[in-house]
Chains A and B, each alone.
Chain A
Amino acid sequence: MNTSPTPAIAAVGLRKSYQDVVAVHDVSLAVPHGRVVGLLGPNGAGKTTTMRMLLGLARADAGEALIDGVPFRDLDHPARTIGAVLDAGGLHPARTGRQHLRIAAAMAGVEDGQVDRVLAETGMAPAADRPIRGYSLGMRQRLALAAALLGEPSILVLDEPANGLDPTGIRWLRDRLRAFAADGGAVLVSSHLLAEIAHVADDAIVIAHGRVVASGDLASLTAAYGGDLESFYLDLTATAMEVR
């Protein structure tokens, strides 16, 4: 179990503009080890851009993001530290699931043997040798998650991982994330499925119009709403819209 006092993910004053549009404005957040943190916000709020800056995929105009205390670009073995699922992308339809994972393993610098492990772990072993073009969205999500788990990371960053998953898959994902956090792992997960976040997350960060409008322990945040995350979220984001 990771008991490091250093947050698994820490961001201070992140800012990102695309031409004249400010996508993310002064976002600060922390994801400690042993916690699942839900990142919530309406479409276009800046969740994905924030995640991409955390992962070094987009350059921040200002601010700093640290993974286990160091910038992502300075990680020696990123895949062994942090796994990410972004849009279930990166899947070539002509490749098989196993080929995709072998490529991911080679990029991550992990042994091919890990491929069978994550295939079994994500329930994708029976479909491993079929072309990805025949996969359902849920299977693609599982395969993307399998790739994220290849390096046995201690941090997961997941952008809408429940998209396309059937109820069994959602239940599996929930259990997997809870077990991951229980082992000392840190999870930052964005989702529009508020009920799912309510089930799985310890903490929540709500972003609207590129700014953090609420963050903290989920129970405390929703206490005034009788623990109803949906009411809290809709009230908060509506207020943020009006303020804007």
Chain B
Amino acid sequence: MFRAELLKMTTVGATKVAAAVGVLGLLTTQLVFVWLLPALSSGAIVIDGEPGIAAELGGVFDRASFEFQYSALSLLGGGASAGSLGFSVIAVLAIGVLAATTDYRFGGIVGAALASPRRGRILGGKISATVVVTAATAVAYAIVSVGVLLASTIASGVDLALGWGDVLSEMSRGIAVLILLGLLGLAIGVLVRSQLAGFLILIGLVVIEPIMHAVLQIVGGAPIWAQFLPLALAQASLADPGSGAVLSPVIALVAFVAIVGAALTAAWVALRRRDF
């Protein structure tokens, strides 16, 4: 079933488009946040001879600092601008949603159910295929992130403050988080079946959760439960382990695995009970 599901995902353009949008989107945001803004901040780039921008941004983007370089490696996009979630997140969520809803939209789920009456196998195949496709996409993200950071540091003549162990740690957690986001998209897709509904939920997730965090901050700080929402956990999983964050990356990652596991369990129950 894994091979069939992988073929399903790789023989339609939508999956490739989603992955390409994610990679290009990440490349764009990384170039802006890791190269362009720091260059403006340092005065390396001066627009119309006006140094005002550098004065305004001065000190915010310290390319030589460990913190800047660490956050620049985030595979969730947005570079050093913590709190921003970019195309990369939307793209892997979309890959997961597509893995499920394309089958419903075009009736392929009937063929799958005929070939595999034990429907857990269908979901297992979809999970495996989604893991492979999102992992491949995440590796492309990793190459972009590391590449832009290296290019930025080399171009500006600063040393890499990160050890290769830090890079590997951040990349491996980033790839794991993106795979989990893809699986969350898959679970949403299986549950709602409709491609439109799946994408609306996906967009709602990506837009509403950050807004909610912003509102909670304004009205007096984020309650603990808000830190256990999916995207907050995804971001917390990628924090520097030495940063002393309330929620350590390991705990955040474990909690995120639990949430995705619960969503997939709900999807499995729905798939078992559903008529086609």
Contact = CB atoms under 8 A, between A and B. Distances in A.
Interface of A: 52, 55-59, 72-75, 78-79, 84, 86-87, 89-95, 99, 102-104, 106-109, 147
A103 B4 contact: yes
Give chain B's interface secondary structure class: helix
Contacts of B1: 106-107
Contacts of B7: 99, 102-103, 106
A147 B4 CA distance: 13
Contact of A52 (B111, B112, B276): B276
3 tightest Cβ-Cβ pairs between the two chains A and B: A89-B107, A106-B4, A107-B115
A107 B111 contact: yes
Contacts of B4: 103-104, 106-107
A94 B102 CA distance: 11
B273 to A, nearest CB: 8
B276 A104 contact: no
A90 B109 CA distance: 7
Contacts of A74: 117
A104 B115 contact: yes
Contact of A99 (B11, B13, B115): B11
B162 interface: no
B276 A91 contact: no
B123 to A, nearest CB: 14
A79 B4 CA distance: 14
Contacts of B275: 52, 57-59
A103 B11 contact: yes
**A59, A99, A106, A109 interface centre (most CB from chain B within 10 Å):** A106
Contacts of B8: 92, 103
Given A59-B273, A92-B106, 18 more contacts: A57-B275, A57-B276, A58-B276, A59-B275, A73-B117, A78-B114, A79-B115, A89-B110, A90-B109, A91-B106, A95-B11, A95-B12, A104-B4, A104-B115, A107-B4, A107-B111, A107-B112, A147-B111
B113 A56 contact: yes
Contact of A57 (B108, B110, B118, B273): B110
Interface string B260-273: 00000000000001
Interface residues of B, number: 25
B240 to A, nearest CB: 43
Contacts of A103: 4, 7-8, 11, 108, 111
B116 interface: yes
Given A58-B275, A103-B7, A106-B7, A92 B114 contact: no
10 contacts: A52-B275, A57-B114, A75-B117, A78-B117, A89-B110, A90-B106, A90-B110, A92-B11, A103-B8, A106-B3
Contacts of B12: 92, 94-95
Contacts of B102: 92
A55 B276 CA distance: 10
A182 to B, nearest CB: 25
Contacts of B276: 52, 57-58
**B115, B117, B276 interface centre (most CB from chain A within 10 Å):** B115
A74 B118 CA distance: 8
